[in-house]
Amino acid sequence: MKADFIDTFKVDSDKVAFDREHRRKINYNIAKYDEAVIRGKLTYVNLPLAKIRAAHIKYKVVNNLDKYLIDFESKFTSRGGKVIWAKDAHEAIKEILLICKKHYIKSVVKSKSMTTEEIEFNEEVKKSGVESIETDLGEFIVQMAGQKPYHIVTPAMHLSKEDVSMLLSSKFGINAESTPEEVTAFVRELLREKFIHAGAGISGANFLIADTGSVCVTENEGNGLLSMSFPPVHIVIAGIEKIIPSLTDLGLYWPLLASHGTGQTMSVYNSIVSGPRKDGEIDGPLDMYVILLDNGRSRVLADEKARQALSCIRCGACLNACPVYKTIGGHTYNSTYSGPIGSVITPFLKDFADFGHLSAASSLCGKCTEVCPVNIPLHKLLLNNRNIMVKKGLIDKQWTRGIKISKMILKSRKLMNMGGGKFKNSMARYFLKSMWGERRKFPEFQPKTFSQIWEQELKSNQ
Ligand code: SF4
């Protein structure tokens, strides 16, 4: 393991875990989410069956990605759209900048998309003089705060309404005590101008539909719809795993995503776009591009167990359920995808040496697996990652030695009974105290082992 990433993770975790104000905000927001999800799931007569079907279809797609992606490409290009395959973030950015150059684009409006976060879209295009403005309210807020999204569905979950009005007051001079309605009205007004002048709209894709060659975007504010239809060029950046086989599958995935993501029966805006504007149509972009991004997904696919993680529909439910996420917060992961799903895929998307430690940031309680709408066995995949870490020799040497010694002692009754509690306590403190942390009470050995007490009892009863 590389020390800098894991050390930063430890320091940040410790800081956030004991930040009471952070905890208050997250508990408040997740409690609201939990209430909504209970209501959202009530619409299902048989939710477990819906989850099994959704998992089955996605897993079939994941195992036949080559076929479905080609189907998507041929259908989409037959209607005038262009497909670009990008093996990594660098290639994706290079292609986007070429499109910007070709169409003289100097500013873009962007709807919420974690894939664009993954390739650091805003930062990269800015270097080439292209202004990128987030149009999802939560994303706009974190962009103005100079932060990264805290959560894959609710990017500004860690901020209270007071934090937001203060932030926008400092940036734009609005009343620092503005209500959420006033803040929303102000941002809407500001963004309308941006939509009018943008040279391109950038979006992700919740689903890519193979049989119709369409891009499906689900959202609640309408900014995605505007980003896709108002500017003359629309660029979609989508991970290769976003494929579903057929338009009819949306009947399964849309409600699952809405109910598990926000507790809604359906998201407010569900758009399906299948190419640029055709002759005679009065709106829509003149040019449309879909960038199919690999960026490490092939490495996830290559691992027979981990590939199940490619079924993820990014609903965020596993983050909200995770006791570790709720304690250390989204930014501590230092990666685009946080929480259980982030801990599973990030080591593959980046590398195990820098991000493998995330797989240990779990109590393995299994709550993530329980809430996942596509039945991804997340806690088992975290164990799979830990196994990979061992095979790659990336486990801390001191830890490995400690485990070997513990194994040897635990297997021998003679060694277990050796020395009194005092001796064991001093040895344990010497070797383990630094790993235990400052704030937890260090466990104490009793003066005698269970077997010694048992033997004594037997003797006294004879
Ligand atoms: S792993 Fe499952 S619960 Fe987590 S974001 Fe993906 S679909 Fe949702």
Q: Quick one: CATH architecture of 43-295? A: 3-Layer(aba) Sandwich (3.40)
Averaged pLDDT of the chain: 95
Block residue for tokens 């004991």 = 18
Whether the pLDDT of residue 399 is over 90: the answer is no
Whether the pLDDT of residue 410 is over 60: the answer is yes
How far does the centroid of ligand 1 lie from the alpha carbon of residue 357, in Å? 20
pLDDT tens string 248-289: 999 999 999 999 999 999 999 999 999 999 999 988 999 999
In the predicted model, what is the mean pLDDT of residues 233-255?
A: 98
Is residue 333 within 8 A of residue 339, CB to CB? The reply is: yes
* CATH 3.40.50.10420 residue ranges for the chain: 43-295
**27 band by pLDDT with thresholds 50, 70 and 90:** very high
Whether the pLDDT of residue 1 is over 90: the answer is no
* Token digits of residue 222: 């309408």
Q: Choose the residue to mutate in 206, 253, 314 for probing ligand 1, maximizing ligand atoms within 8 Å of C-beta.
A: 314
In the predicted model, what is the mean pLDDT of residues 15-42?
A: 96
Which residues are paired to 272 by β-bridges? 216
Whether the pLDDT of residue 186 is over 60: the answer is yes
pLDDT tens string 68-124: 999 999 999 999 999 999 999 999 999 999 999 999 999 999 999 999 999 999 999
Whether the pLDDT of residue 3 is over 70: the answer is no
322-356: b (≥16 Cβ within 10 Å) or e: bebbbbbbbbbbbbbbbbbbbbbbbbbbbbbebbb
pLDDT tens string 150-169: 999 999 999 999 999 999 99
Dist CA 362 CA 217 (whole Å)? 31
Block residue for tokens 């027979």 = 304
Chain-centroid distance of CA 39 in Å reads 24
How far does the centroid of ligand 1 lie from the alpha carbon of residue 439, in Å? 32
Give the per-residue pLDDT at 434.
79
Atom of ligand 1 nearest to the CA of 344: 1
* Token digits of residue 284: 């829509």
Whether the full predicted model's pTM is greater than 0.85, yes or no, is yes
Give the per-residue pLDDT at 368.
98
Give the per-residue pLDDT at 401.
87
Whether the pLDDT of residue 51 is over 80: the answer is yes
Dist CA 25 CA 28 (whole Å)? 5
How far does the centroid of ligand 1 lie from the alpha carbon of residue 170, in Å? 36
**2 band by pLDDT with thresholds 50, 70 and 90:** low
Dist CA 13 CA 336 (whole Å)? 17
In the predicted model, what is the mean pLDDT of residues 298-310?
A: 98
Could you tell me if the CB of 216 is within 6 A of ligand 1? no
**Among 127, 74, 78, 73, residue whose Cα is nearest residue 100:** 127
